[in-house]
Amino acid sequence: MEKKWRRFNGDPIQQPILEAVEKALEREQALGNRLKVCIGTDSQVRGKTCEFATVIVFVREHRGGFMFIHNESTQQKMSIKERMLREVYKSIDIAYELCDLFDLYEVDMEVHADINTNPKFKSNEALQEAMGYILSMGFAFKAKPDAFASSSCANKFA
């Protein structure tokens, strides 16, 4: 089943995400914008529901940016570690789907994990596994406080 993505303003993205991203890369390249893409996922637990938001953030060098958003929810009960690793899995899933496209257009990509590097925080227990997973897939990795795609962008939509 094709995942439903939307723009920041709420407009649905009608075509498959691969096509939408390629059109965005072509448009930005034609405008002379240099891009970096950051992919991240955040989640919030509300009652028995866990809401996930995954974002693809296109950062224009010196010119702001834009993003595509996908939401998913589950009733499955998870530990904090499992939830953090599920966030990372969702980010890796879309990063893997798009990485050849980013290589083709010579766009740098990072995967951002909403996991704290400070051991005082519960999410930290997933840090080593998440970092190992992302790096083993060949992707650049950022965690809090540098993981703005997950911590700031996706956080607004989870």
Q: Would you place residue 158 in the very low, low, confident or very high pLDDT band (cuts 50, 70, 90)? A: confident
Domain count, the chain: 1
Assign residue 107 the CATH number of its domain: 3.30.420
Q: Which helix (H) or strand (E) holds 91?
A: helix 80-104
Structural domain including 30 reads 5-156
Q: Would you place residue 20 in the very low, low, confident or very high pLDDT band (cuts 50, 70, 90)? A: very high
Over residues 136-157, mean pLDDT: 91
pLDDT above 60: residue 1: no
Give the sheet arrangement for strand 35-46, strand by strand.
12-13, 5-7, 65-74, 49-60, 35-46, 108-116, 140-144
Over residues 24-33, mean pLDDT: 96
pLDDT above 70: residue 67: yes
Q: What is the pLDDT of residues 33-62, one digit of tens each?
A: 999 999 999 999 999 999 999 999 999 999
Q: What is the pLDDT of residues 68-127, one digit of tens each?
A: 999 999 999 999 999 999 999 999 999 999 999 999 999 999 999 999 888 898 888 889
